[in-house]
Amino acid sequence: MGEILDIFPKIKDDKKPKIIEREKIIADYRERNSLVYSNLIKLGLDVEFKELKVADYIFKDVAIERKTVSDFISSTIDKRIFHQLEEIKQYPNHLLIIEGIEEQELYDDSKSEGIKSNAIRGLLLSIVLKYKIPIIFTKNAEDTASFIYVLSRKTNNEMSLNPKKKTRNPEEQKQYILVGFPGIGPKTAKKLLKEFKSIKNITNASLEDLRKSIGKKADIFKLVD
């Protein structure tokens, strides 16, 4: 008997479910309890938590620093914002999200513990013009998640998740320490270092000598003695 040929055409099984790979967003583990996370899941994105040295969210080649209005103001007061902005610039694409403008007033001169509205405006201009970092203002956590979702549909490149903490030269380290004092900005820090050469000399200097250099701002150094 000759070979039996299969004359019946094979039927393609279209009933098998298609596996759709969801876009993955890398989030810092501290974002786990935020409402942004739950909204990203609702939008169909896959969120993986890691300890990120830089940024709050990373999608391929984009680093996102997310701050609520209150966190933005507090990080401005204690100077954290400036170092965080420098760090996310290690990524070719980066942006700052200020979240909750519908829930909290960004400019509120009535609160004595805050900073003046024009100072905030000046900082926002500095972030865009000096640091070259785009700013997105979102209404709430749901709006933030929607922006990240739209971003995930437009980005193609992938980058390393482990950029190094930005290292500072000795002079920059001294300035960074000084701007941690209330009321001491980058210009004042540079002026002090130019005149007194070191932090040790600054803290050991007399109040009179410090006042000659930077006026009443000098008092802060004697308050921490």
Quick check: is 8 in a domain? no
- For residue 138, what pLDDT is reported? 95
Quick check: is 84 in a domain? yes
- For residue 19, what pLDDT is reported? 42
Clarify whether residues 68 and 177 are in a common domain. no
Clarify whether residues 139 and 89 are in a common domain. yes
pTM: 0.61
Clarify whether residues 90 and 117 are in a common domain. yes
Statement: residue 11 has pLDDT above 80: no
- How many domains does the chain fold into? 2
- For residue 28, what pLDDT is reported? 95
Clarify whether residues 78 and 142 are in a common domain. yes
Clarify whether residues 143 and 197 are in a common domain. no
- For residue 154, what pLDDT is reported? 75
Clarify whether residues 29 and 135 are in a common domain. yes
**In the chain, % of residues over pLDDT 70:** 77
Q: What angle do CA 149, 155, 160 make, to 5 degrees?
A: 105
Of 92 and 179, the structure prediction assigns the larger pLDDT to 92
- For residue 125, what pLDDT is reported? 92
CATH number at residue 217: 1.10.150.20
Clarify whether residues 181 and 87 are in a common domain. no
pLDDT band at 225 (very low <50, low <70, confident <90, very high): very low
Picking from 123, 152, 181, the residue at the C-terminal end of a domain is 152
**In the chain, % of residues over pLDDT 90:** 37
Considering only CA atoms, which of 96, 115, 98 is closest in space to residue 107?
A: 115
Structural domain harbouring 210: 170-223
Write phi, then psi, for 155 (nearest 5 degrees): -110, 140
* 203-225 mean pLDDT: 76
Clarify whether residues 89 and 188 are in a common domain. no
* 16-40 mean pLDDT: 80
Clarify whether residues 54 and 139 are in a common domain. yes
Clarify whether residues 136 and 180 are in a common domain. no
Clarify whether residues 195 and 91 are in a common domain. no
Lowest mean pLDDT among 92-106, 148-162, 201-215: 148-162
Q: 42-55: b or e for each residue (b if 16 or more CB lie within 10 Å)?
A: ebebebeeeebebb
* Mean pLDDT computed over every residue of the chain: 81
* 107-113 mean pLDDT: 66
Statement: residue 211 has pLDDT above 70: yes
DSSP assignment string, 66-128: EEEHHHHHHHHHTTHHHHHHHHHTTSSEEEEEEE-TTTS-S--TT-TTS--HHHHHHHHHHHH
Of 186 and 136, the structure prediction assigns the larger pLDDT to 136
